[in-house]
């Protein structure tokens, strides 16, 4: 088996929602849902948290999750990008452990409904197809680009000219949006190409009920709804 490292990026700060990663979702800190999914994965060789927060580091370790280093300040600002942050985590982990990993899986805490099944299914597809990467997506459904508008000089215009006015969703080509749940790629693609995608990327399509991506307080409400639906259906 290749060595597959899961990386959970969890800053202490958040511009939109203060301390978002530790905010309660159905009475549990948001980040704990990603811990549970990673622990239930059978394909991850190891997984770690990269954080600048002492609170998150302590909570992670108390839940059995490794935090082998503290994230430097330059990777902990609102402007910090995901790729250099995960590159730092991978290279530091390899240096500490004295090994080279083969694949990297970024697991963002803002996708609490993703399961261990989703992680493993993504990794299996990545290995089976022998591609550079796999990224999880969800259908945009009625939020389709053919239905989107721009305002130009005060007038409402089509974002994309199609020759159709208000077309029914069933007649539109399927379009997907990244849901933030799983980014998995070859280690060399991340490190040497500065990319999660590489030259060959396949989709892992997820349903709405596992695709909540927490960016606002409304997203917490949506995630709670799907969590409660899941609990009530058990």
Distance CA 29, CA 51 (A): 15
Q: Using the Cα atoms of residue 152, residue 153, residue 154 and residue 155 in order, give the sign of their dihedral.
A: negative
Distance CA 7, CA 49 (A): 6
Distance CA 196, CA 134 (A): 8
How does pLDDT run across 49-94, given as a tens digit for each residue? 999 999 999 999 999 999 999 988 787 767 778 999 999 999 999 9
pTM: 0.91
Token representation of residue 135: 């990224």
Instruction: Band the pLDDT of 164: cuts 50, 70, 90.
Output: confident
How does pLDDT run across 56-68, given as a tens digit for each residue? 999 999 999 999 9
SS3 content of the chain, % helix, strand, coil (to 5): 40, 20, 40
Residue 201 has pLDDT above 80, yes or no: yes
Q: Residue range 100-106: average pLDDT?
A: 97
Q: Residue range 203-212: average pLDDT?
A: 95
The superfamily CATH assigns to domain 4-138+175-232 is: Spore Coat Polysaccharide Biosynthesis Protein SpsA; Chain A (3.90.550.10)
Q: Where are the domains of the chain?
A: 4-138+175-232, 141-174
- Helices H, strands E: what count in the chain? 6, 10
């Amino acid at each position: 088996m290749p060595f597959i490292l899961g990386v959970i990026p969890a800053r202490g700060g958040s511009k939109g929602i203060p301390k978002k990663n530790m905010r309660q979702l159905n009475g549990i800190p948001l980040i704990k849902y990603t811990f549970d999914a990673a622990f239930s994965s059978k394909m991850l060789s190891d997984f770690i948290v990269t954080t600048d927060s002492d609170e998150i580091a302590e909570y992670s370790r108390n839940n059995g999750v490794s935090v082998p280093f503290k994230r430097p300040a330059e990777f902990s600002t609102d402007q910090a990008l995901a790729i250099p942050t995960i590159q730092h985590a991978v290279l530091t982990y390899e240096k500490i452990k004295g090994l080279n990993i083969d694949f990297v899986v970024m697991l963002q805490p803002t996708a609490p409904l993703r399961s261990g099944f989703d992680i493993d299914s993504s990794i299996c597809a990545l290995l089976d197809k022998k591609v550079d990467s796999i990224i999880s997506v969800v259908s945009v459904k009625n939020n389709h680009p053919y239905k989107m508008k721009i305002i130009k000089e005060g007038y409402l215009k089509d974002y994309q000219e199609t020759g159709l006015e208000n077309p029914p969703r069933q007649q539109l080509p399927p379009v997907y949006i990244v849901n933030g749940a799983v980014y998995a790629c070859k280690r060399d693609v991340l490190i040497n190409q500065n990319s999660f995608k590489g030259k060959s990327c396949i989709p892992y399509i997820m349903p709405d009920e596992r695709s909540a991506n927490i960016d606002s307080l409304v997203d917490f409400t949506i995630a709670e709804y799907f969590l409660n639906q899941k609990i009530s259906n058990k």
